[in-house]
Chains A and B, each alone.
Chain A
Amino acid sequence: MTAHAAVPPIIEVDRVSKSFGDFKVLDELSFSVAPAEKLALIGPSGSGKTTILRILMTLESIDSGHIRIEGEELYHMEKGGRLVPADEAHLHRMRAKIGMVFQLFNLFPHMCVLDNVTLAPVLTKGVAKEAAKRRAMELLDMVGLADKAKAMPAQLSGGQKQRVAIARALALEPRIMLFDEVTSALDPELVEEVLAVMHRLARETDMTMLLVTHEMGFAHDFADRVMFFDRGRIVEQGPPSEIFTNPREERTQGFLRKIIAAGHRI
């Protein structure tokens, strides 16, 4: 690990494989993430980077391998001295450690902003309604949307929706946050407001953050480490200064050239 060599990893991905039909998305993938590390996953579409986040959030199962969160198996549990597939109760316990923000926000359209943020803490952590509301207002204030608490999602812009989605995920106080192309669906002028919130989170919290993105400039500023993926494998990884300015692998160089040619800045 780059920065925290002595600390045990918060996420360990251990020889994980995953196929969709004949298509092998992840091929014996192994890596680990240190607590509080900010990790950016980059690579061409179809390289498996989003699948990794989805697997960590248990939205997608794995075909083989192991994932450990804080040393504990995600998809397996111990029963009679053997590892067996995890049941719902185990998955619920594990999911409590992880939060995710989606490309298309996935807000609940039938609830106001405030209810979107308070629903899960009240239901899953037994937080009292009033306390959940107070906390939600703090979070909405942090993402700059305290005045939209009573608005319905349909009344918000894409950037505002995504900031609500971030507040909603934070309300559960996860140790690990997954950001899946959170600015890809936004109009260019709305990207900044979302990135600013994420920058602030990265600076002010010790949450572990995994980020799949095509915003190379943001990945550069935000991440402690960048991983370049291609065809379900890690091609190259290292600190952003290294990967972006001096990539060793030809495929990384080719990918970055294409991204720059497409008008993205680094």
Chain B
Amino acid sequence: MDYSGYIALILQGAVVTAQLTVMGCALALVMAFVAGLGRLSRFGAVRALATAYIEFFRGTSVFVQLFWAYFVLPLLGVELTPLQAGVLALGLNVGAYGAEVVRGAVQSIGKEQREACVALNLTRFQAMRHVVLPQAIVPMLPTFGNNAIELLKATAIVSLISISDMTFQAQVMRAQTGSTLVPFATIMVIYFLFALAISGAIRALERRLTRGLDGVRA
């Protein structure tokens, strides 16, 4: 049997999955920094808001969040396309995990670095922007890589709100051809290659950012 038409469909789905992953990661990254730094704010209200976001999105299933974004928000007057709903749910969910990574990494930068910033009369913002964050990014990267791969795999659930991602197309192929092995072996390989690409990119970034820091960090 000729599967080539179906494989082309799956590759189209792969493009959708890649889009969801890239946009979801972008939103997650923004949320991770906003909420992670929010948790370290001087202002109690900001800390409370950040904590509420993190706990809520970590504590409820991404599946439920997706259904809220797509089916419940319209009832409240917010209409989203399936892609927007998917990116929103994935980004907010993974961003909540990322926020704790940002907070932990920022807190891991020694007190003596902050004290040097005070002695050099930098503002809090300048200290964060030029001294703390550039150093904190490095320990964030491995966990960010994990989070990005988690997000990639979680994109499969968007097929439930009728986005034709890779998993959706595999199910179409399975229903129409009766073959389970071919579509699911295909998408398994593609998911794996995507994940490999993410790990590779993170490692390259890590190497770039640790140049010259030898002996400073393990």
Residue in B118, B134, B215 whose CB lies within 8 Å of A110: B134
Q: Mark B127-150, 1 if CB is under 8 A from A, else 0.
A: 000110011000000000000000
Q: Mark A106-141, 1 if CB is under 8 A from B, else 0.
A: 111110100000011001100000000000000000
Q: Please indicate the chain B residues that have their CB under 8 angstroms from the CB of A153 in the complex.
A: 216
Q: Please indicate the chain B residues that have their CB under 8 angstroms from the CB of A96 in the complex.
A: 121
Residue in A57, A95, A104, A172 whose CB lies within 8 Å of B112: A104
| A119–B213 CB distance below 8 A | no
| B113–A106 CB distance below 8 A | yes
Q: How many A-B residue pairs have CB under 8 A?
A: 70
Q: Please indicate the chain A residues that have their CB under 8 angstroms from the CB of B134 in the complex.
A: 110
Q: Mark B103-118, 1 if CB is under 8 A from A, else 0.
A: 0000000001101101
| B216–A109 CB distance below 8 A | yes
Total A residues in contact with B, Cβ cutoff 8 Å: 28
Q: Please indicate the chain B residues that have their CB under 8 angstroms from the CB of A124 in the complex.
A: 120-123, 126
| B116–A123 CB distance below 8 A | no
In A217-257, which residues have CB < 8 Å from any B CB? none
| B120–A110 CB distance below 8 A | no
Residue in B118, B124, B135 whose CB lies within 8 Å of A109: B135
| B122–A110 CB distance below 8 A | no
Smallest Cβ distance from B209 to chain A, in angstroms? 8
Q: Does A152 contact B (CB under 8 A)?
A: yes
| A59–B118 CB distance below 8 A | yes
Q: Does A99 contact B (CB under 8 A)?
A: yes
Q: Does B78 contact A (CB under 8 A)?
A: no
CA distance A102 to B113 in the complex (A): 11
Q: Does A266 contact B (CB under 8 A)?
A: no
Q: Please indicate the chain B residues that have their CB under 8 angstroms from the CB of A112 in the complex.
A: 212
Given contacts A88-B124, A110-B134, A119-B120, 12 further A-B contacts (CB under 8 A): A57-B118, A59-B119, A102-B116, A104-B112, A106-B116, A109-B216, A110-B213, A124-B120, A124-B126, A154-B213, A154-B216, A169-B119
